[in-house]
Amino acid sequence: MRIIRDTVFIDPADRGAAAAIGNFDGVHIGHQAVIDLTREAAEATNAPLGIMTFEPHPRSYFSKDSAPFRLMNAEARANRLAKLGVEKLYEVPFNASLANLTPRDFAQTIIADQLGLAHIVVGADFCFGQGRAGTVDHLIAFGKEMGFGVTVAPIVALDNGNVSSTAIRKALSDGNPRDAAAMLGHWHRIEGEVIRGDQRGRELGYPTANMSITGLHPPRFGVYAVKVDVLDGPHKGTYDGAASIGVRPMFGENIPNCETFIFDFKGDLYGATLSVALVDFLRPELKFDGLDALIVQMDDDCSKARKILSDVR
């Protein structure tokens, strides 16, 4: 998959895709339905399968002081889209110039002139252009005028309501990762580089791989049964484990992170990229009277996680 971040000085070979447009935060089953329709359009027009998204996320641009909300960072999103067969990922820089484009100018400048898209697919609630004034009806009209096809994908719903990134965030905040997974079509994952911590886990007999969750929507703080993919390095592979997400109240910390203990693992993971899939919420974050009580609880957490994960592929 090619990632194109400059839409002005673009290689001619990267123009002309059939592309879905959106933020694709989480790449949930609604997004996947849009991508499936885009794949059909790509095959019908003999064009590459593309995704047009924005970086940074427009919400981050307009609300710079808002609480972290993203379900995945740009790298994790790209990894997920590549697995779905996307050939061209257009990460359009979201800046003042783009934000101030009228709907017509957005369609003409970005879609038609710069990217030369053959066909686009959007969700039924898609809005675009300055003040989000453009609707799918506008887009269809612009497509007829400017020479690109438009497909509008219906909203995907489950029994408990429409599938959306907002609903997935709520499920994670409530400590319901399986509900989130039902909407995502895959486990919710935290991806990132293993960073050096204070090595307290090693001293307790539970060495952990520490990852930052800065910028991501925080799941409910607590301990989870997890599947762990080591994405690179000599220990590349899939493992079972237990992860603690939170601020470590036992030690007076206040910056949330993810600490993962990988079962039956020996090796150095510093600098490796991990993808930690949240399978089940085991318990909330707690403060213990002493280290002995903490170790007893960790023993119990890992025992429960092993049992849960024995039935999970």
Question: How would residue 218 be classed by pLDDT, with cut points 50, 70 and 90?
Answer: very high
Which pLDDT score is estimated for 206?
86
Rounded Cα distance between 111 and 114, Å, is: 6
Q: Which amino acid is at 116?
A: G
Pairwise pLDDT comparison (30 vs 293), residue with the higher score: 30
Over residues 257-262, the mean pLDDT reads: 95
pLDDT digits (tens, 9 = 90+) for 86-106: 999 999 999 999 999 999 999
Pairwise pLDDT comparison (229 vs 293), residue with the higher score: 229
pLDDT digits (tens, 9 = 90+) for 122-162: 999 999 999 999 999 999 999 999 999 999 999 898 888 88
Rounded Cα distance between 8 and 92, Å, is: 10
The per-residue pLDDT of the chain, averaged, comes to: 93
- The residue from 55, 87, 191, 259 that is catalytic is 259
Which pLDDT score is estimated for 291?
82
Cis peptide before 56 (omega within 30 of 0): yes
Which pLDDT score is estimated for 66?
82
In terms of DSSP bridges, do strands 161-162 and 257-262 run parallel, antiparallel, or are they unpaired?
Answer: unpaired
**193 included as an active-site residue:** no
Which pLDDT score is estimated for 200?
64
Which pLDDT score is estimated for 254?
72
> What is the distance of C-alpha 67 from the center of its chain?
16
Note whether 17 and 50 are within 8 A (CB).
yes
> Three-class SS string for 31-88?
HHHHHHHHHHHHHHHCCCEEEEEEECCHHHHHCCCCCCCECCCHHHHHHHHHHCCCCE
Structure tokens at 134: 């453009």
Does the structure show a pLDDT above 60 at 250?
no
Select from 3.30.470.160, 2.20.28.10, 3.90.730.10, 3.40.50.620 the CATH code of 2-155. Answer: 3.40.50.620
pLDDT digits (tens, 9 = 90+) for 5-22: 999 999 999 999 999 999
Which pLDDT score is estimated for 198?
67
Q: Which is nearest to 281 in space by CA: 232, 234, 222, 236?
A: 222
Does the structure show a pLDDT above 60 at 120?
yes
Q: Helix 177-184 crosses helix 165-173 at what angle (to 10 degrees)?
A: 160
Note whether 34 and 121 are within 8 A (CB).
yes
> Three-class SS string for 140-168?
HHHHHHHCCEEEEECCCEECCEECCHHHH
Lowest mean pLDDT among 69-83, 219-233, 248-262, 281-295: 248-262
Distances (CA, A) of 147 to 7, 22, 202: 18, 20, 61
Which pLDDT score is estimated for 203?
62
Rounded Cα distance between 276 and 225, Å, is: 10
In terms of DSSP bridges, do strands 237-246 and 188-193 run parallel, antiparallel, or are they unpaired?
Answer: unpaired
% of the chain beyond a pLDDT of 90: 82
Rounded Cα distance between 154 and 61, Å, is: 27
Q: Which is nearest to 226 in space by CA: 299, 311, 309, 310?
A: 309
Does the structure show a pLDDT above 70 at 251?
no
Containing 258, the helix (H) or strand (E) segment is strand 257-262
Q: Which is nearest to 17 in space by CA: 148, 162, 134, 212?
A: 148
Q: Give the list of residues 6+ apart from residue 192 with CB closer than 8 angstroms, or none.
A: 73, 211, 212, 213, 273, 274
Which pLDDT score is estimated for 201?
59
Q: How many CB atoms lie within 10 A of CB 108?
A: 16
Cα of first residue to Cα of last residue in the chain, in angstroms, is 27
CATH of domain 186-309: 2.40.30.30
pLDDT digits (tens, 9 = 90+) for 40-76: 999 999 999 999 999 999 988 888 888 899 999 999 9
* Domain residue ranges in the chain: 2-155, 186-309
Which pLDDT score is estimated for 248?
73
pLDDT digits (tens, 9 = 90+) for 185-208: 999 999 999 998 766 656 667 889
Question: How would residue 289 be classed by pLDDT, with cut points 50, 70 and 90?
Answer: confident
Containing 293, the helix (H) or strand (E) segment is helix 291-309
